[in-house]
Chains A and B, each alone.
Chain A
Amino acid sequence: DAGVIQSPRHEVTEMGQEVTLRCKPISGHDYLFWYRQTMMRGLELLIYFNNNVPIDDSGMPEDRFSAKMPNASFSTLKIQPSEPRDSAVYFCASSRSELQPQETQYFGPGTRLLVL
């Protein structure tokens, strides 16, 4: 298996622009998680999906952030409009459901976002 795939790996954009981050989870995984990593707050959960349905979006910072999972193999995290404080590394992770809460989460390589 190729693991969790994220694109782009790096994104540099200007304030006010729309940014779309993409994730392909591991095939057969029912859970998909979006995290943001910053120096100040470490690894924060933004939102997670179970069987393509958003379950908990309490970590989404504000209305500028939205996430979708139209099918089992694809999810997007969108920021519109982007601001400099959104600069961070965004990770996607996926896991199976059978043995929750013991299930390991498998992380993608992350998208490094810089908003100028």
Chain B
Amino acid sequence: ILNVEQSPQSLHVQEGDSTNFTCSFPSSNFYALHWYRWETAKSPEALFVMTLNGDEKKKGRISATLNTKEGYSYLYIKGSQPEDSATYLCAFYKSYNTDKLIFGTGTRLQVFP
């Protein structure tokens, strides 16, 4: 059984705070790690795809890092805004022969003004 774990399950922060959360995955046979942003009543939208150990991706105030040797990825949000409120999902491919993503249960972020 492949486990993708995300922590914390939920997070409440004040506008302007910076925050980060974790995605843990099995470190063997790693091929790719995806981050998705999922707003309430909408569908998940891709944020990043990461493939190399040490990868760092950035989109505006959101960035992500990847450590494939120890099996974790961090997502950072700098200066959180209310519009950042969403569930952040990570998902990974276990091996090249599998075309499916295994999703974590997400971190639900709420940013209060």
Contacts and interface: CB of A to CB of B under 8 A. Distances in A.
Instruction: Please say whether chains A and B are actual partners in one complex.
Output: yes
Contacts, number: 55
Contact of B99 (A43, A55, A109): A55
Q: Report which residue of A56, A91, A107 has the largest number of chain B beta carbons within 10 angstroms of its beta carbon.
A: A107
For chain B, the bracket of interface size reads 20 to 34
A44 B101 CA distance: 10
Given A101-B32, A102-B32, A102-B51, A45 B45 contact: no
Contacts of A101: 31-32, 93, 96, 98-99
Interface string B76-111: 000000000000010001001011111111100000
Contacts of B44: 43, 91, 107
A42 B32 contact: no
A43 B44 CA distance: 10
B47 to A, nearest CB: 9
Interface string A99-116: 011111111111000000
Given A101-B32, A104-B34, A43 B103 contact: yes
Given A42-B106, A43-B89, A109-B42, A104 B49 contact: yes
Given A91-B43, A109-B42, A110-B43, A50 B103 contact: no
Given A101-B31, A104-B49, A42 B43 contact: no
B103 A48 contact: no
B42 A45 contact: no
Contacts of A55: 99
Interface string A26-67: 000001010000000111110010100001100000000000
Given A42-B104, A101-B93, A109-B42, A48 B32 contact: no
Interface of B: 31-32, 34, 42-46, 49, 51, 89, 93, 96, 98-106
Interface of A: 4, 31, 33, 41-45, 48, 50, 55-56, 91, 97, 100-110
Instruction: Pick the 7 closest A-B CB pairs, nearest first.
Output: A101-B93, A42-B105, A107-B43, A104-B46, A101-B32, A43-B103, A101-B31
